[in-house]
């Protein structure tokens, strides 16, 4: 596609399926198709940013090899861990102060 090619129609949804670094369950996040992409970013970077944005969506994985699905909730990225809503809650509950958890606190909270 050339830059001058005219596009008719719209990209309405882009979703990423994510494996939680804590529990191994899967969830989806929505990537804003109209959002600006910082220079040098890949679609992976945009997916990680969407996990950081926190709108994890439960997915139906019935009939697949790994049927475990995470609940809806506020996902997060903490010390490089992509976390589903449930794992984010566990880590947030373990750290009472308003700050990011340390790597050791994350491992302790998630019992990994
Ligand atoms: Zn999880």
Domain boundaries, the chain: 14-110
CA atoms within 13 A on the CB side of 22: 27
Query: What is the whole-number distance in angstroms between the Cα of residue 43 and the centre of ligand 1?
Result: 22
- The pTM (predicted TM-score) of the whole model is 0.81
91-100 contacts, C-beta under 8 A, 24 or more apart:
91/22
Q: How far is CA 92 from the centre of its chain?
A: 16
- What crossing angle do the helices spanning 103-110 and 85-94 adopt, rounded to 10°? 110
Query: What is the whole-number distance in angstroms between the Cα of residue 34 and the centre of ligand 1?
Result: 28
pLDDT in tens, 3-28: 678 989 988 889 999 999 999 888 88
Collect the ranges in the chain with pLDDT lower than 50.
none
């Amino acid at each position: 596609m050339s830059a001058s090619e005219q596009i008719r129609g719209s990209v309405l949804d882009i979703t990423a399926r994510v494996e939680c670094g804590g529990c191994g369950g899967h969830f989806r996040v929505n990537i804003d198709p109209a959002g600006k992409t910082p220079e040098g970013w890949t679609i992976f970077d945009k997916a990680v940013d969407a996990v950081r944005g926190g709108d994890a969506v439960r997915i139906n994985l019935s009939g697949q090899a790994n049927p475990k699905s995470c609940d809806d909730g506020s996902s997060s990225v903490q010390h490089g861990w992509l976390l589903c809503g449930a794992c984010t809650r566990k880590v947030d509950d373990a750290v009472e102060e308003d700050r990011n958890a340390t790597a050791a606190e994350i491992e302790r909270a998630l019992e990994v």
